[in-house]
């Protein structure tokens, strides 16, 4: 565990960048420091690997004061990733990644093997190994930065706005990749960002900092969204806080109905039976084709082209209540389509029923009921 204990950093010009900050950063999970520009995030991160020394207070790693540890040993146990990757421009991708292993005396061959293995791990094609950084896209360069930081297998990874300079689509890919890598490797990651959405997506715990280097709130994302401690945190979370909070509720409990679901080869009798304003037509395997009003369907003559689009279905259990709501809102009929992992329809649910489930989930969460699920269960699949 990294423990920051009442740490203050005052720069020589008098600027107080960090003011009596205390944080306990748990092992093997992602802790995010988030806050507006200039609130002391980078300063805090750099005090953890002693690129900056605190003016007051102490930082310890597994109970030992950082001041008592040689800086070189400390830095080796902490990978560091920055915006724009900070790669060596005159070295190939493979050699960039092999930098630290080479520095700590692994042989050339072992270092390169390790680098090749890491390229695969971060989703870089082996064909890029001999290229130079300028020959890679921004997103690829960031992946190299992550691979390089992981090369000597440090238990701690410090990441300072690593994805802030890439476009939103690439950024989402990098975030997903980081979560996947973290699932496999279980590092202690301290991740700095000014983007609250990124913080909520990546963090198991999020420290919201305010200008002046003070901690505003330190909590798991679901708790931040449900109980911001003050107006600053509430503003910082944004006006759609209520909707975003739904990402942390499971869609499992939604009551599905199969009454309006008919197969494309349904008989006239089967088509007449359901008492529903709309019918969802599936193919013979049960995959959704589209919606129609009952009167518009003729047995033996249903064609997919004539149906209303069914939108994007959700997978109960895997997707959040937010995803289910989105499906219902985007559906032309106001009904969301639920499918299993194989894409076969398991039922449909109305906007109204989703709304009721949302109210129930909110009150269950507010009273601490077990139906509210933790971010680790849902965050990775939430939209
Ligand atoms: N070397 C420095 N000397 C003086 N002030 C600094 C120095 N580095 C950062 N600061 C100031 O300290 C505050 C926190 O900076 P920083 O930690 O970089 O914030 P963030 O990463 O959250 O944007 C800012 O007001 C910044 O201008
Ligand atoms: Mg910064």
> What is the band of 224 on the pLDDT scale with cuts at 50, 70, 90?
very high
Between 16-25, 235-244, 346-355, 358-367, the lowest mean confidence (pLDDT) is in 358-367
Pocket test for ligand 1, best of 7, 8, 11 (most atoms within 8 A of CB): 11
Question: What is the pTM (predicted TM-score) of this model?
Answer: 0.84
Identical fold at 2-247 and 261-376?
no
Class of domain 2-247: alpha beta
Average pLDDT over residues 121-131: 94
Ligand 1 closest atom vs CA 213: 14
Instruction: Look at ligand 1, atom 26, and give the residue with the nearest C-alpha.
Output: 38
Q: For residue 362, what pLDDT is reported?
A: 81
Pocket test for ligand 1, best of 8, 17, 33, 158 (most atoms within 8 A of CB): 17
Q: At the topology level of CATH, where does 261-376 sit?
A: CBS-domain (3.10.580)
Domain boundaries, the chain: 2-247, 261-376
Instruction: Look at ligand 1, atom 12, and give the residue with the nearest C-alpha.
Output: 17
Q: Encode pLDDT of 324-378 as tens digits.
A: 999 999 999 999 999 999 999 999 999 999 999 998 888 877 775 443 444 334 4
3-state secondary structure the chain: CEEEEEEEEECCCCCEEEEEEEEEECCCCEEEEECCCCCCHHHHHHHHCCCCCCCEEEEEECCEEHHHCCHHHHHHCEEEEECCCCCCCCCCHHHHHCHHHHHCCCCHHHHHHHHHHHHHHCCCCHHHCCCCHHHCCHHHHHHHHHHHHHCCCCCEEEEECCCCCCCHHHHHHHHHHHHHHHHHHCCEEEEEECCHHHHHHHCCEEEEEECCCEEEEEECHHHHHHCCCCHHHHHHHCCCHHHHHHHHEECCCCCCECCCEEECCCCHHHHHCCCCCCEEEECCCCCEEEEECHHHCCCCCCCHHHCECCCCCECECCEEHHHHHHHHHHCCCCEEEEECCCCCEEEEEEHHHHHHHHHHHHHHHHCCCCCECCHHHHCCCCC
User: Is residue 383's pLDDT more than 50?
Assistant: no
């Amino acid at each position: 565990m990294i423990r920051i204990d009442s740490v203050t950093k005052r720069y020589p010009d008098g600027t107080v960048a960090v003011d009596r900050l205390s944080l306990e950063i748990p092992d093997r999970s992602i802790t995010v420091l988030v806050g507006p520009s200039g609130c002391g995030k980078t300063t805090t991160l750099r005090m953890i690997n002693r690129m900056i020394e605190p003016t007051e207070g102490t930082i310890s790693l597994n109970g030992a004061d950082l001041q008592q540890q040689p800086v070189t040993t400390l830095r080796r146990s902490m990978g560091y990733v920055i915006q724009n990757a900070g790669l060596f421009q005159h070295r190939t991708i493979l050699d960039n990644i092999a930098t630290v292993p080479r520095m700590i005396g692994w042989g050339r061959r072992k270092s390169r093997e390790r680098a090749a293995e890491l390229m695969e791990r971060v989703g870089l094609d082996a064909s890029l190994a001999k290229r130079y950084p300028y020959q890679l896209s921004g997103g690829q360069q960031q992946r190299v930065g992550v691979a390089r930081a992981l090369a000597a297998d440090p238990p701690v990874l410090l990441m300072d706005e690593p994805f802030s300079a890439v476009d939103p689509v690439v950024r989402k890919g990098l975030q997903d990749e980081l979560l996947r890598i973290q699932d496999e490797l279980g590092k202690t990651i301290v991740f700095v960002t000014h983007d609250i959405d990124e913080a909520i997506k990546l963090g198991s715990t999020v420290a919201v900092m305010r200008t002046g280097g003070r901690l505003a709130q330190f909590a798991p994302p679901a708790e931040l969204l449900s109980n911001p401690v003050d107006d600053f945190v509430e503003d910082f979370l944004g006006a759609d806080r209520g909707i975003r909070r739904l990402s942390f509720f499971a869609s499992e409990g939604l009551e599905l109905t199969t009454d309006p679901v008919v197969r494309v080869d349904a008989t006239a009798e089967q088509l007449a039976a359901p008492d529903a304003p709309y019918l969802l037509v599936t193919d013979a395997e049960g995959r959704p084709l589209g919606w129609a009003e009952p009167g518009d369907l003729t047995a033996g003559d249903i064609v997919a082209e004539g149906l209303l689009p069914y939108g994007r279905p959700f997978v109960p259990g895997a997707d959040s209540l937010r995803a289910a709501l989105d499906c219902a809102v985007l559906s032309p009929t106001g009904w969301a389509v639920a499918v299993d992992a194989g894409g076969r329809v398991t039922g449909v649910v109305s906007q109204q029923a989703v709304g009721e489930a949302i109210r129930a989930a909110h009150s269950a969460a507010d009273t601490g009921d077990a139906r509210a699920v933790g971010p680790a269960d849902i965050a990775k699949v939430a939209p």
